[in-house]
Homo-oligomer: A and B are copies of this chain.
Amino acid sequence: MANSFDQQKALSLIRQAIHHDGQFAPLHEPRFSGRENDYLKDCIDTGWVSSVGSYVDRFEKDMATYCDVPYAIAVMNGTAALHVCLLLAGVKPGDEILIPTLTFIATANAVHYCGATPHFCDSDTSSLGINAEKLETHLNDIAEIRGDTCYNRQTGNPIRVLMPMHCFGHPSDLDALLDVANRWHIALVEDAAESLGSLYKGKPTGQHGLLSAVSFNGNKIITTGGGGIILTRDEGLAKRAKHLTTTAKQPHPYEFYHDEVGFNYRMPNLNAALGVAQLEQLDGFLAAKKHLADAYHEAFRGFGGGYIFGDADYAQSNNWLIALILDTSDLKTRNRFLEMSNAAGVMTRPVWKLMHHLKVYADCPAMDLSKAEDLEGRIINLPSSVKHGIQHDT
């Protein structure tokens, strides 16, 4: 049975976990303790700051190695990465793309940019990602395979891609989702925007889908200012990704021949330089954040009214954003705590408004979304910066 939620007690436990010194505790701030300044200065001194340069190549190589995939293509942000992943997965105007309703709007917008429609999926409370079992049931209800393609019988549209999102860094149940996707002839693209460094059954997220997208926005575990990357194991898709993100210009010593409508999505060398320096520190960041997550778990052990979200047995999260899950779903309680804690200098935030509750996506196809709706009233993200995990050591 659910306990009532003691706000003051919860705030005090958060302060204990982060060793709160009374200064404003941000939700997630970046940490620059490596060679950032050296590499940026190198860009300026050599004059290579823009869309061609050695740091772009190096960042792509380092990221591919880190994520254990053969190909990585750096772009200007996670949204651009998602957009191109979907195009390369064959998404056409009119298609439907299975995405969680519990996600940041970039997931849905990337679908929209392709002229496709989001088809919303419910959450799995053990991963916060898409619930594979419920998806299978839903597809049995509404979908059919014709030829090699899955169709929504109700709308008549192809269901082209399943795009799970690894929420707050917690891996979705990829094997179960791949199983559904394969059975229904649907491609799987990973929205790994939040999960760099997370492992699914011991392997990095971002290598399981046909393509994957990672974000390096300022609030992510490592940052390039703004940036993203496309990961893939497919050489042909990697080449197409590079081509499409660099205005689709054919190689030629001097002619400007663009053979399709491409995008100006390339990551500048300046931002890649920051990424190389940040990636060098990622293992340390992961250790600090694990330390912080453990401290939260320890602090909230036995707390009545809510718990710190932990890994499923198949998952090892990067602990990007720590989440407190209230026992009882109640937007009023949630909002009161958000207001109280932020006023007290401890930054907290709710999960994103569910996509199907946004006016622009309210009319999209969807399965029953009751678990996500329940979670919306229960999730509170807590201060999760690397510095809080490091301070904990001292």
CB within 8 Å of B: which residues of A?
Answer: 29-32, 36-37, 40-41, 44-45, 47, 49-52, 76-80, 104-106, 109, 112, 217-219, 223, 225-226, 247, 249, 253-264, 266-271, 274, 335, 338-339, 342, 348-350, 352-353, 358-360
Contact = CB atoms under 8 A, between A and B. Distances in A.
B262 A109 contact: yes
A269 B80 CA distance: 18
A268 B359 CA distance: 28
Nearest to A361: B261
A203 to B, nearest CB: 28
Contacts of A261: 109, 112, 360
Given A37-B40, A109-B261, 11 more contacts: A30-B47, A30-B50, A77-B264, A79-B264, A104-B256, A105-B249, A225-B270, A226-B271, A254-B335, A258-B360, A270-B270
B47 A342 contact: no
A225 B50 contact: yes
B76 A253 contact: no
A240 B248 CA distance: 30
A50 B223 contact: yes
A78 B257 CA distance: 19
Contacts of A50: 30, 217-219, 223, 225-226
A47 B76 contact: no
A112 B113 CA distance: 12
Nearest to A347: B254
Contacts of A44: 32, 36-37, 40
Contact of A353 (B32, B37, B256): B256
B109 A253 contact: no
B266 A226 contact: yes
A333 to B, nearest CB: 14
A348 to B, nearest CB: 8
7 tightest Cβ-Cβ pairs between the two chains A and B:
A50-B218, A225-B268, A225-B270, A79-B264, A226-B268, A256-B352, A49-B225
Contacts of A359: 259
A353 B257 contact: yes
A76 B245 CA distance: 14
Contacts of A225: 49-50, 268-271
Contacts of A358: 257-259
6 contacts: A30-B49, A106-B264, A109-B263, A255-B350, A259-B358, A259-B360
A253 B342 contact: yes
A168 to B, nearest CB: 14
B47 A32 contact: yes
A47 B278 CA distance: 13
B353 A226 contact: no
A52 B358 CA distance: 24
A107 to B, nearest CB: 12
